Structures are given as C-alpha cells and as structure tokens.
Amino acid sequence: MPNDIMKRFEAACDFAVPVCPDEVNKHLVNYLARIGVNRKVKQFQSPWWREDAIWKMVVEVLGKVNSLAARDALDARDARAALDARDALDARAARDARDARDARDARDARDARAALDARAARAARAALDARAARAARDARDARDARAAFAARDALAARDARDARDARDALDARDARDANLIILKTFGNFCCFRAGYYWWDLPWIASVWFGAIENKTTEALKWSESILASFCAGAWGLMWTDTVLFWLPHPKIHTENTGGSSRRLHCTNGPAYANEVENLYFLHGVMVPAYAVTNPDWITLGEIEAENNAEIKRALIEQFGWVKYLAESGAVRINERFNDRDMQNEELYEMKTGNRRFVVCDPSTGRKYSLGVPREVTSCEAAQNWLSHGLDRLAVTRT
C-alpha cells in the first residue's frame, strides 16, 4: 500500500487538508460514473431548505413518517418562507442580545439560531444519550464527528418531542414556531439519515484500503474516487433524487484528557460545526447551544429537572457554582473567618452528597467554589486537603 496515500488519508481524517471544491467535484463525478448513477454533483450550501432537491427529499421522508408533528410542520402554508423568516428574526434577536451583552453571546447567526431553537424547545431539559456522549468523548476527528452525530440524533429527537409536547400549551404563533423548529430539526436529521455507509466519506473511503488488500478490482474503482474526494476536503454526502450534495469537513474543537485521548469541548462556540448545523459540547458532554453561547439563559429549574448527571454538572458549571449553591438549597455545614488569609470560608454539602468549599480569593476578591472529598467536615480540613497538608505550614497567602 502506498505510504503517501495512507498519510493523506490520515491527514484527511484529522481534517487537516484544504478543501478543494473543483477536485472534489471532479472525483465525485468519476465516482457516479463508475457506479452508473446519474446525478449532478454540487457542494452543499446552507440552509438546506433553500435547495429544491433537499426540500423535496425532506418532504418525501416526512411523508413516510407516521408523525403527527411532522405533518403539522408541513401544514405551514409556505414552510420554507416561514423558516427563512424565523431565521431572520432569530438572527436579529441574537444580534440584539449580543449588542446588549458581551462577547460570551452568540458569535454568529448560526450559533444564535441554534441557541434560540434549543431554548425554544427547552432542549436543556431533554436528557441526552449518555452512551453517545461518552463515545464522542473518546473519538478522534472523523470519529468525533460521527459520535457527535449519534448524540445529535438523540438531542434532535428529544427537541422535536419537547417542542411537540410544548406546542399544545402555546398560542397559535408560538405553535407555528414550534412546528418550524420541528421541521428544521427533522430536516437536519434527514440530511444525514441512514447509516454511515450512506454519507460518511471517511468511513466509505476506508473501503479502498480493503480493496487493495483483497485485490477487489470493482470496489477499487469506485472507492478510489471516494478516497480522492475525501482527501480533497469532502467529508459528507447528501443523496437526493437529482443531486449528490457534498459537505466540506466540519470544524472540531477538542480538549486533551491525558495521553492521546481527547474529547469534544469548546467554551465559546460549537465544538462540532458542519454546514448543516452546530453542536455544542463541554468537556465531552453535549449541551444545548445556549448553555455555551448564552449561559445566562440557564435556569435553576432546568438544572434541577435534568436527570443526566453529566449534563447537570455541565449546566451548573455554566450557571456558576456559587450562584447554584446559593439558589439550590445546598446545606452549609461549616464556616469560619480565616485570620491568616483574611477571608471568609464556607463548606457546603450538595443534595448529591458532594462537598464544595467556597472561598473568596484575598487578592482578586472573586468567589471560588472548589470540590473537596466527602470526608472533609471543616473549612480548616478543606484548606489542608486542597494544599496536600501544606496549609498548616503556610505563613501567608496572596
């Protein structure tokens, strides 16, 4: 097997290759010719509902789904125009929010729209699939993207369900909004429907290596074009009746978790973003968009209602531990004024049994909440544990 091809494939799997649209188009045209399928080849342009072929595909899939919510979504007289209008409205609201707040707010309209959709659907209350999130955490780029989709599917399903459930209680205008969220989410889902073998180029391109190994001439022909398109920057395929759309590789943000392992993580935008949608992860946990872009939208109620421990923790960290302790009914089990450090110290027990040591930094005046073991029963013991026992020997703190 040629070494340079494997190296290019590896670089493409790390999404470390430039996107060359002309090259991708050329290779995908060859691919279609080799498998004897007649389609135009086109790079996908967001949003999906402005592409006639994708709109038609989504409508067809909707027709096959025995879903009241899906049918209701199409009831909008001109759903596509409504989606455009809602996008414009959301983008304007997001701009207003950004102007009024600070850099933590949405960085672009898509971020903002995702946040607004998630908020509208109360996606935060929709617990995510922990297995999918765990899988995403350990994956590398292409695998990260794949796993992110698994988590996304779970979220999308719950978003839609939540929106549908909420719709009955809403007035007509809000109900129309809820329908559009369902339609948009469902359309996103349709863009990547079916198995990875259907759209995931890194997965399909790996067939070429097997074909070389097994000397499978027929597979070698078509998979060579797929591999070449992947190495030219394509990442996903979107099949419709008339057009084969392709997407460039997504943008991934991760954090290292020791050694070669890493997980999806971004504190100021999507950890995973492709041309169809943005997905948001904090330390490997998929969260609603607004938990990242507009954390001040998080409410104590939805934190309390969250059953998934990972998501709950992520939401609390975004909400702020100190604020959460104050509002959640955590029990203060010890407090003191530390004369040496000239600071107030408090030890809390959470409802989960976890203990948090809250201290006001003597230099900055900021309040910090630090986790300590459950065996710690006093502020003095907390300080000693945090410092490996050295606090009792410390002469000063700045």
Partner 1 sequence: MATKVLDRAIVSAHKEAIVNDSPKTHEDWEIGMAAHQGDLTFVCISRPASATPRKNLQLAEGATQGSRHVLESGNAYDCDPNEVSMAIKAATKCDVSLQYLGIVFSGAGATVTHPEHGDHAFVPDRCTAVVYQRSMDAEEREMRTQD
Q: How far is the CB of 394 from partner 1 (least distance, A)?
A: 4
What would the x/- binding string for partner 1 be over residues 74 to 113, using CB under 8 A?
Answer: ----------------------------------------
Rg (the chain; Cα; Å): 25
Q: Nearest to residue 121, comparing CAs of 54, 73, 55, 76?
A: 73
Q: Indicate the residue among 259 and 365 with the shorter CB distance to partner 1.
A: 365
Closer residue to partner 1, CB minimum distance, 177 or 306: 306
Exposure string of 80-92, with b = 16+ CB inside 10 Å and e = fewer, is eebbeebbeebbe
Tell which phi-psi region holds residue 348, choosing left (phi > 0), alpha (psi between -120 and 50) or beta: beta
159 touches partner 1 by CB under 8 A: no
Q: Are 180 and 83 in contact, with CB atoms under 8 Å apart?
A: yes
- Asked if residue 285 lies in contact with residue 310, where contact means CB atoms within 8 angstroms, the answer is yes
State the nearest-atom distance from the C-beta of 316 to partner 1, in Å: 7
Q: Does 388 bind partner 1 (CB under 8 A)?
A: yes
Tokens 């203990």 sit on residue? 355
Binding mask 308-347 for partner 1 (x = CB under 8 A): -x---x--xx-------------------x---xxxx---
**Minimum CB–partner distance for residue 312 and partner 1 (Å):** 8
Q: On the CB side of 7, how many CA atoms lie within 13 Å of its CA?
A: 3
From 56-64, 92-100, 122-130, 389-397, give the range in contact with partner 1 by CB under 8 A.
Answer: 389-397
- Nearest-approach distance from CB 387 to partner 1, in angstroms: 5
Choice between 7 and 351, CB closer to partner 1: 351
DSSP, residue by residue, 259-290: TT-EEE--SSS-SEE-SS-EEEEETTEEE-HH
Dihedral of the alpha carbons of 15, 17, 20, 23, in degrees to the nearest 10: -100
Using CB atoms within 10 Å of the CB of residue 395, give its burial: 0 to 12 exposed, 13 to 18 middle, 19+ buried. Answer: exposed
198's tokens: 């259907």
Closer to partner 1 at the Cβ: 7 or 374? 374
Residue 309 Cβ vs partner 1, minimum distance, rounded to whole Å: 8
State the binding string over 348-387 for partner 1 (x if CB under 8 A, else -). Answer: ------x-----xxxxxx-x--xxxxx----------xxx
Q: Which is nearer to partner 1, 43 or 343 (CB)?
A: 343
Q: Which of residues 20-39 bind partner 1 (CB under 8 A)?
A: none
- Alpha-carbon span 286 to 278, nearest angstrom: 11
Residues that bind partner 1 (CB under 8 A): 309, 313, 316-317, 337, 341-344, 354, 360-365, 367, 370-374, 385-391, 393-398
